[in-house]
């Protein structure tokens, strides 16, 4: 095991008076120090978009990333959460037109064909993981959903009592437990700041 500590954190203030409020839930960004030689520093930008504004918010998330990079000069960044990036909320064509998609420095780990929803009647890739940074790219071994319905042998009704979405995860070279730990820290920090759950 290894230590994960919070180096810094802040809530992105979407309060430019010259433009309309873009985010329904402003991103709460956390920077971590990791005891990993190959990845000593990692920033996570979680985001839960408003379904009807998914495209607009995801386009603005690129600006959040730019500000974070300018502020912390970080090399490795994860953008993740319920992006509502699929089905009726965001077409594949619109997804491909986003700056986060067109910029080759970003890699989308959860594809359009991945079903992140619990209901058997739906098949949508709402939840995503997008990464930036060569060190991070080199560490990622796999990514996908944690299908707790199957893993815990739940009925659909039982699974829906947990959530209507599956968690997304990635394996960082054998450090599969890293991401859930970081997300728990983010949610804990968010709660302490009076911010509702972001994922």
Buried b (16+ CB within 10 A) or exposed e, 70-80: eebebbbbbbb
d(CA 38, CA 171): 14
Cα–chain center distance at 16: 24
d(CA 193, CA 180): 20
Residue 198 lies in a domain: no
Residue 119 lies in a domain: yes
Q: Is the pTM of this model over 0.75?
A: yes
Buried b (16+ CB within 10 A) or exposed e, 163-181: eebbbbbbbbeebeebbee
Q: What is the mean pLDDT of residues 62-74?
A: 96
Q: What is the mean pLDDT of residues 15-40?
A: 82
Residue 99 lies in a domain: yes
The percent of residues in the chain predicted with pLDDT above 70, rounded, is: 83
* Per-residue pLDDT, 12: 93
Residue 80 lies in a domain: yes
Burial of residue 112, with CB atoms counted within 10 A of its CB: 0-12 exposed, 13-18 middle, 19 or more buried: middle
Q: What is the mean pLDDT of residues 84-110?
A: 96
| 113-172 pLDDT, tens digit each | 999 999 999 999 999 999 999 999 999 988 999 999 999 999 999 999 999 999 998 888
CATH of residue 49's domain is 3.60.10.10
Residue 50, domain extent:
4-192
Number of domains in the chain: 1
Residue 197 lies in a domain: no
Question: What six digits make up the tokens of 158?
Answer: 């039982």
* Per-residue pLDDT, 14: 78
Residue 118 lies in a domain: yes
Q: Which residues, other chains included, contact 68 with Cβ-Cβ below 8 Å and sequence gap of 6+?
A: 29, 43, 45, 74, 77
């Amino acid at each position: 095991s290894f230590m994960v500590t919070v180096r810094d954190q802040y809530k992105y203030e979407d309060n430019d008076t010259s433009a309309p409020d873009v985010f329904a839930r402003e991103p709460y960004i956390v920077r971590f120090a990791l005891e990993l030689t190959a990845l000593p520093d990692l920033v996570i930008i979680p985001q839960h978009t408003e379904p009807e504004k998914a495209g607009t918010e995801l386009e603005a998330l690129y600006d959040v990333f730019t500000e974070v990079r300018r502020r912390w000069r970080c090399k490795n960044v994860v953008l993740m959460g319920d992006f509502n990036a699929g089905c009726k909320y965001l077409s594949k064509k619109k997804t491909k037109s986003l700056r986060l998609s067109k910029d080759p420095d970003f890699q989308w780990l959860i594809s359009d064909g991945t079903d992140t929803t619990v209901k058997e009647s739906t098949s949508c890739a709402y939840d995503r993981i997008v990464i930036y940074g060569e060190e991070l790219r080199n560490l990622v071994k796999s990514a996908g959903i944690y299908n707790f319905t199957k893993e815990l042998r739940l009925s659909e009704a039982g699974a829906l009592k947990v959530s209507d979405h599956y968690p997304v995860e990635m394996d960082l070279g054998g450090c599969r437990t890293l991401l859930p730990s970081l997300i728990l820290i983010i949610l804990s920090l968010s709660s302490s700041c009076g911010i509702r759950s972001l994922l």
